[in-house]
Amino acid sequence: MALSLPFQQIRHNGDLMPKHQDARFQGARKYVLDPELASIVNISMSLEMPLLLKGEPGTGKTMLAHAIADTLDMQLITLNVKSSMKLVEALYQYDTLTRLNDSRFGDSTRDVSNIDDYIKMGKIGQAFCAENRAVLLIDEIDKADTDFQDDMLDVLDQMQFDIIETDRTISAIHRPVIIITSNAKKDLSDPFLGRCNFHHIAFPEPKMMRKIIQVHFPAIDSQLAENAISAFYAARGIDGIEKKPATRELINWLRALQADPDFKAKDLLKGSMPFLGVMFKKSPDYERAKNITGRHKRF
Amino acid sequence: MSGPKTSPAGTNGSKGVFMFIKFFYTLKDVGVPVSPTSFLTLQKALYQGLITSLDDFYTCARAVLVKSERYFDLYDQVFAYHFDGVPLPEDEGFEIDQMARAMLDEWLKNPKSMADALDVDENALKKLNPDELIDYFKKRLKDQDGRHDGGSKWIGTGGISPVGHSGYHPGGMRVGGESRNKSAVKVANERRYKNYSTQGPLTQAKIGEALKRLRNMIPAGPKDVINVDETIRTTLRNGGEIELIFDRAMKDRLKVILAIDNGGWSMDPHIQVVQTLFNYARAQFKEVKTYFFHNTIYDYVWEDPSRYKKPKKVMDFARLDPETRLIIVGDASMAPYELMAHNGAIHITDRSGRPSIEQLNFLAQTFSKAVWLNPVSQIMWGYTHTIMAISQIFPMYELSLDGLEQAVTKLMEKA
């Protein structure tokens, strides 16, 4: 094929292993990529459009950005959106107080008459100014109010913003790869959606889940994995559960099961569910699951 | 891989583009909100040669054109129709589909009552297999449409008929999910996204989203936010001696009264959704007071759900901040005298001189920002006299995501 999509290398084998194993984050840096999602990532990168990801918690929305950054050896810049956030905080900050302080006492190396010395780039600003193409992750955009989203439109569209204080325009040196995640079921504003590509990450099917488990526990006993996965999907299917256990819960649960010397994989088939508290974090859910799974001798 | 494989990119020339235009308009026709800009983006992707197979096209066109998972199912259907000739459901087909399924469910549970409701012989229906049954129910539903004004026998009779509930969701409908190594057409035919496409039950997250805008930010708490403008001004006035000026942070101080009808069998089907609303409200608002009543409000409401221990005089509400938002949740369905008569309350201890409707009017006057949320689906309101009467007093909204959003908009309106 003539076209060279940068993300293609992970397309064929489906698995994605990080190039740099940061010792501390070893567990968290593993990601199994769905081929469908890979092609959406590729096309968004080629079209230079932000990719909006939705899906229930635990489907790996945030992890995807980490995976892209790792695979393509790009810098990852994360903007964690907060509910009270104003867009300008994500772009830059003008540190008036330091300047005021410097002008009064004059004992710093900064030049008080030069406002630029007091401008600090926010996360979006950093992504624009980065020397190499970076991955910009805008995490949980739905937390902020709609003003924030609307204001961000122009910035992402034009790939530039103005610093009002100095009347300087910051343009992106390289258009960053932008990944936006949203947890809420609510739709974002239409003009915002119009500028993004969209993908909804469905909860992994058992087959995919087996792969994920394989990546996280390369040495796991296959019967244990199999039984745990079917018990896990059964637990997700319990009626009236408010917070369904997600991938994260399954992985922690497996860790707990492995750590328990008395535990035998075939117990799971009999319907017993040890360590329910790892799976269900809300007390009504916990009670419900406890009643349904019945035998819960060890806890 | 099986299934048709064409190369949409370029090889078909102008004919290919035309095909996509038709695809685009079919999407638009069935109600997927697609924009011309996104269509052009898709063209760009095609011309850049980013799409080399129908599978690519399926994935990419969806990412570019469809911006919410709610429309994924519709997209799948249109895709299957367009590239594999699977017929699209007819007009209103989507709704009738669900209704018929609800009827089938009901039939499986209780064939006799269903047969009675439909006014047919139970044994005649028993001969049909489920598919035929669905077809039969669909036909009946369409007949029903035709004679809507005549006061049909079996839809809208208020709770007796098993099919009068429009809010039915084919719950637990599982999406087929096996291997991904299938052609796009096959995947589209599986309709993997079916369970996102219905309106879906109101979950806490959804209610949270809807109520998020219900906020009233006012400065409160300790003075711990620096006011730069004031600081500079004061510093200048001091001749350069820095003086820091602090303000209070903006906090949400909205007062909410939530009054919930928790009595009577008529509210039973709605308990879960009301509970969700209640839980959310308690978690979200700092100052939320919850009261309970049965059917409608007389002299007292109660702070305890059993409506026994802690009565609160409705007249005392007059002393509360008139800016308080009053949200009443109830089906507003009762015998007309309960609302209108001087001694209408079905509980003898409730009886006083004032008919409930006057109390409701009093509340509406006290709190200019009040809404009534009704879990009964809006199309049924016309059949119940008391719903109509109460909706004259309070702006009434359906207890659904849309209704909640409208209600919140109403509550936040500037007077």
Q: Is A229 on the interface with B (CB under 8 A)?
A: no
Question: Contacts of residue B200 in chain A, CB cutoff 8 Å?
Answer: 185
Q: pLDDT category, B173, cuts 50, 70, 90?
A: very low
The pLDDT of residue A127: 92
Average pLDDT over residues B378-384: 83
First to last CA, chain A: 56
Average pLDDT over residues B172-195: 47
Q: Does position B318 have pLDDT exceeding 80, yes or no?
A: yes
Q: pLDDT category, A13, cuts 50, 70, 90?
A: very low
Closest residue, chain B, to A144 (C-alpha): B212
**For A268-292, how does the pLDDT look when each residue is reduced to its tens digit (9 = 90+)?**
766 677 788 888 877 878 887 777 7
Q: How many helices (H) and strands (E) does chain A have?
A: 12, 11
Closest residue, chain B, to A102 (C-alpha): B242
Beta bridge partners of B396: B372
Q: pLDDT category, A3, cuts 50, 70, 90?
A: very low
What is the bridge-based pairing of β-strands A160-163 and A168-171? antiparallel
Instruction: Compute the nearest-CA separation of A259 from chain B (Å).
Output: 31
Q: pLDDT category, A136, cuts 50, 70, 90?
A: very high
Most A CBs within 10 Å, among B34, B67, B195, B236, to test the A interface: B67
Q: Does position B159 have pLDDT exceeding 50, yes or no?
A: no
Average pLDDT over residues A118-122: 90
Instruction: Compute the nearest-CA separation of A43 from chain B (Å).
Output: 7
What's the token pair of residue B115?
């047969």
Question: Contacts of residue A183 in chain B, CB cutoff 8 Å?
Answer: 205
Question: Contacts of residue B193 in chain A, CB cutoff 8 Å?
Answer: 200, 202
Percent of chain B with pLDDT over 70: 55
What's the token pair of residue B179?
């291997």
Question: Contacts of residue B204 in chain A, CB cutoff 8 Å?
Answer: 242
Q: How many CB pairs under 8 A join A and B?
A: 99
Lowest-confidence pick of A68-77, A169-178, B204-213, B376-385: B204-213
* Phi and psi torsions of B163, nearest 5°: -110, 5
Where are any strands of DSSP class E within chain A? 15-16, 31-32, 51-54, 76-80, 92-94, 119-121, 135-139, 160-163, 168-171, 177-182, 197-200
Average pLDDT over residues A186-215: 81
**For B207-244, how does the pLDDT look when each residue is reduced to its tens digit (9 = 90+)?**
666 666 666 666 667 777 888 888 888 888 888 788 88
Q: pLDDT category, A180, cuts 50, 70, 90?
A: very high
Domain ranges for chain A:
6-200, 206-293
Q: Does position A69 have pLDDT exceeding 90, yes or no?
A: no
**Rounded to the nearest 10 degrees, how much is the dihedral formed by the CA atoms of A245, A250, A254, A257?**
10
Closest residue, chain A, to B272 (C-alpha): A240
Average pLDDT over residues A239-252: 80
> Who wins on pLDDT, B336 or A49?
A49
Q: Is A3 on the interface with B (CB under 8 A)?
A: yes
Most A CBs within 10 Å, among B32, B41, B69, to test the A interface: B69
Lowest-confidence pick of A240-249, B174-183, B201-210, B384-393: B174-183
Q: pLDDT category, B163, cuts 50, 70, 90?
A: very low
Q: Are A122 and A90 in contact (CB under 8 A)?
A: yes
**For B2-35, how does the pLDDT look when each residue is reduced to its tens digit (9 = 90+)?**
444 444 444 444 555 667 888 888 888 887 888 8
Closest residue, chain A, to B217 (C-alpha): A84
CB within 8 Å: A193 and B68:
yes
**For B271-317, how does the pLDDT look when each residue is reduced to its tens digit (9 = 90+)?**
767 777 776 676 666 677 888 888 888 888 888 777 777 788 888 88
CA proximity to A159, closest of A130, A187, A184: A130
Q: Is A2 on the interface with B (CB under 8 A)?
A: yes
Q: pLDDT category, A15, cuts 50, 70, 90?
A: very low
Q: Are A29 and A76 in contact (CB under 8 A)?
A: no
Percent of chain B with pLDDT over 90: 1
Q: Does position A77 have pLDDT exceeding 90, yes or no?
A: yes
CB within 8 Å: B209 and A185:
yes
> Who wins on pLDDT, A287 or B252?
A287
Maximum C-alpha span of chain A: 75
Q: Does position A188 have pLDDT exceeding 50, yes or no?
A: yes
Closest residue, chain B, to A236 (C-alpha): B172
Q: Does position A137 have pLDDT exceeding 90, yes or no?
A: yes
* Topology of the domain comprising B254-412: Rossmann fold (3.40.50)
Domain ranges for chain B:
1-199, 221-251, 254-412
CB within 8 Å: B59 and A36:
yes
> Who wins on pLDDT, B190 or B389?
B389
Dihedral sign, CA of B218, B222, B227, B232? positive
Q: Is A165 on the interface with B (CB under 8 A)?
A: no
A45-to-A20, A130, A186, B336 alpha-carbon distances in Å: 22, 17, 25, 63
The pLDDT of residue A67: 85
The pLDDT of residue B252: 66
Q: Is A199 on the interface with B (CB under 8 A)?
A: yes
HSE (side-chain half, CA atoms, 13 Å) at B388: 9
Beta bridge partners of A182: A54
B71-to-A103, A143, B33 alpha-carbon distances in Å: 58, 23, 9
The conformation of residue A286, written as its DSSP 8-state character, comes to H
Q: Does position A7 have pLDDT exceeding 50, yes or no?
A: no
Instruction: Compute the nearest-CA separation of B206 from chain A (Å).
Output: 6
Question: Contacts of residue A58 in chain B, CB cutoff 8 Å?
Answer: none
The pLDDT of residue B139: 65
Q: To the nearest whole number, what is the mean pLDDT of chain B?
A: 70
The pLDDT of residue B116: 64
CATH 3.40.50.2300 fits A6-200, yes or no: no
d(CA B134, CA B137) in angstroms, rounded, equals 5
CA proximity to B356, closest of B395, B301, B310, B316: B301
CB atoms within 10 A of CB B198: 17
Average pLDDT over residues B364-371: 88
> Residue for token digits 């325009």?
A169
**For B48-94, how does the pLDDT look when each residue is reduced to its tens digit (9 = 90+)?**
888 888 888 888 889 899 888 878 888 888 888 888 777 766 544 45
Q: Which residues fall within 8 angstroms of residue B236, CB to CB, at 6 or more apart?
A: none
> Who wins on pLDDT, B323 or B212?
B323
Residue type, B67: K
Question: Contacts of residue B232 in chain A, CB cutoff 8 Å?
Answer: 96, 100
Nearest CB to B68 within list A43, A100, A187:
A187
The pLDDT of residue B20: 82
CA proximity to A37, closest of A208, A200, A229: A200
CB within 8 Å: B52 and A1:
yes
- 3-state SS, residue A4: coil
Average pLDDT over residues B261-275: 71
The conformation of residue B294, written as its DSSP 8-state character, comes to B
Question: Contacts of residue B66 in chain A, CB cutoff 8 Å?
Answer: 198
Q: pLDDT category, A243, cuts 50, 70, 90?
A: confident
CB within 8 Å: A42 and B50:
yes
Task: Give the DSSP H or E segment for B139.
Answer: helix B130-146
Q: Is A202 on the interface with B (CB under 8 A)?
A: yes
